[in-house]
Structure 1
Amino acid sequence: MREPVDALLIIDVQVAHVTGPGAVPSADALVAQTTTLLDHARAAGALVVHVQNDGAEGLSDAPGTPGWDLHFPVVDGEPVVRKVHDDAFADTGLTELLAQRDVGSLVVCGLMSEMCVSATARTALARGFRVVLPRDAHATTGIPAMNGADPVPAEVVSRVAEWALGDELESVPHAAEVSFRPS
C-alpha cells in the first residue's frame, strides 16, 4: 500500500468539460474516478481543493456561463481556487493555502492532462511536494489531423503528458489505489 496523501486537487472539472458536446471523450470515466478520489478524501478528512478555470469571454468556461460551474458540489470547508493560467499555483494563493494546512503531498486529477494538470503537477514537484497522479483520473481531448499529420487520440495525449512530468511524479494506474490522511 502506498503512503497516504495529504490533499486532493481537482483541476478544472467544470460542467463544459464533462457534459454536453464540449465534454472530453472519457468524461464519464474521469467523473467516476474523480468521484472515487473525492469520496476517499472526504471520508478521511483530507483537504480537498477545487480549482476552477476562468476562461476568456466567449469560451464555454468563462465566468458566469453554465459551463463554468464546477461539476462537483463544494462542501463547507473545501476551498475553491480560481485561476486564469494553466498552472493552478500561478497568481492564486494555492501555495499559501497548502502551507497553512501543512500539506506535503497531494493528488492531482482533472483536466486537461497536457495543460492544466501537467502545469500544476510540474510546479508542485518543483516546490517540493510529493505528487501522485492516477492515470485514470485525468483526461483531455485528442489532437485533430493537421497539415497532413495523423490525429493523436486523447488517451495518447494524456499518457505523453504524464510521461513528460518525469520520474519524481508518482503515477498510479487507478484512483482507487490512493489513500488520504486527515488534514
Structure 2
Amino acid sequence: MDQHGDTAPPPRPVDALIVVDLQTAFVTGGGAVPGAARLVDRTADLIARARQGGALLVHLQNDGPPGAEDEPHTPGWELHHPVRLGPREIVLRKPYDDGFRETPLGGVLADAGVRAVAVCGVMSEMCVQATARTALERGYRVVVPHDAHATQDVPAAPGISGVVPAATVSRVAAYALGSDAEVTVPAAGVTFTAPAGAH
C-alpha cells in the first residue's frame, strides 16, 4: 500500500524540519487556528526532537502586508516558539506562500546536504502546501505529519458550499501533494538525523 494508506511503514528519519509561519497571530487570541493548542504542542515536540537529533531546523516567518495580523515587527508577526539560532537552526523571512520563493531556503538545504524534510505549521492549504510542493519538485523526500499543520475553516459561500471545517481543509491540502508526499504520519512518528553535510 502506498504512503497514503493506513498500513504504510514508519518513515525513515528526516534531516531537516521546516516550521512554517508558527507566528503568534495564528496560534493565539481570536485569530488562532482551530486546535491551536494541539498544533503548538505537536510542533514544539518536533522542534525539540529535531534539535536533539541534529537535524537542520528552519523557522519560516511570513511578512504580511501593512495592516495584516502578521505585519512585520508587530506582536502577531513574532514567532511563537523560542528560537536557538546557530549553525543548525535559522530563521528565514518570506514574502510569499512558498518558503523557497525569493528566500535562501533552497541554498540552505543544499549546502547542508539535506535529503529529506518534515514540514509543519500553518496554513495547510497555503504556505505549508506551497513549501512542501516545491520541496518535492526539488527532489526532497517530504513528510507532512498530519497532526502538525493547521488552517482556518473555509467560510460558507452561497450557492457553492457550506462551511468547510479546517480539519477537512488540512487533510485535503496534504493529499493534494500527491502520492510522493508522506502525509499520514503523526508528529510522534517522525524521527530525525543530522544532514550529510553537517559537521
Shorter-chain TM range is: over 0.9
Is 1:136 equivalent to 2:147 in the alignment? yes
Q: Structure 2 stretches of 5 or more lacking a match?
A: 1-9
Of 79, 87, 93 in structure 1, the residue corresponding to residue 98 of structure 2 is 87
Deviations along 1:103-128, one digit per CA (max 9) or x if unpaired, are 01100000000000000000000000
2:112 and 2:70 map into 1 onto residues whose CA distance is 29
Q: Secondary structure at the match of 1:110?
A: strand
1:8 and 1:115 map into 2 onto residues whose CA distance is 18
Of 118, 131, 138 in structure 2, the residue corresponding to residue 120 of structure 1 is 131
1:45 and 1:75 map into 2 onto residues whose CA distance is 13
What is the Cα-based RMSD across aligned positions, in Å?
A: 0.9
Of 28, 45, 59 in structure 1, the residue corresponding to residue 68 of structure 2 is 59
**Runs of at least 4 residues of structure 1 off by over 4 A?**
none
Q: Secondary structure at the match of 1:79?
A: strand
Of 37, 56, 65 in structure 2, the residue corresponding to residue 47 of structure 1 is 56
Deviations along 1:118-163, one digit per CA (max 9) or x if unpaired, are 0000000000000001000000001111224211000000011011
Is 1:100 equivalent to 2:107 in the alignment? no
Amino acid at match of 2:121: G
Amino acid at match of 2:105: L
Q: Structure 1 stretches of 5 or more lacking a match?
A: none
TM-score of the two chains, using structure 2 as the length reference: 0.90
1:61 and 1:89 map into 2 onto residues whose CA distance is 19
Identity %: 55
1:75 equivalent in structure 2: 84
1:4 and 1:64 map into 2 onto residues whose CA distance is 35
The answer (yes or no) to whether the contact 2:11–2:185 under 8 Å persists in 1 is: no
2:28 equivalent in structure 1: 19
2:6 equivalent in structure 1: none
How many pairs are equivalent? 183
2:7 equivalent in structure 1: none
The answer (yes or no) to whether the contact 2:143–2:185 under 8 Å persists in 1 is: no
- Tell me the CA shift for residue 76 of structure 1: 2.5
The answer (yes or no) to whether the contact 2:125–2:169 under 8 Å persists in 1 is: yes
TM-score of the two chains, using structure 1 as the length reference: 0.98
Q: Secondary structure at the match of 2:183?
A: strand
Q: Flag the structure with higher helix content.
A: 1
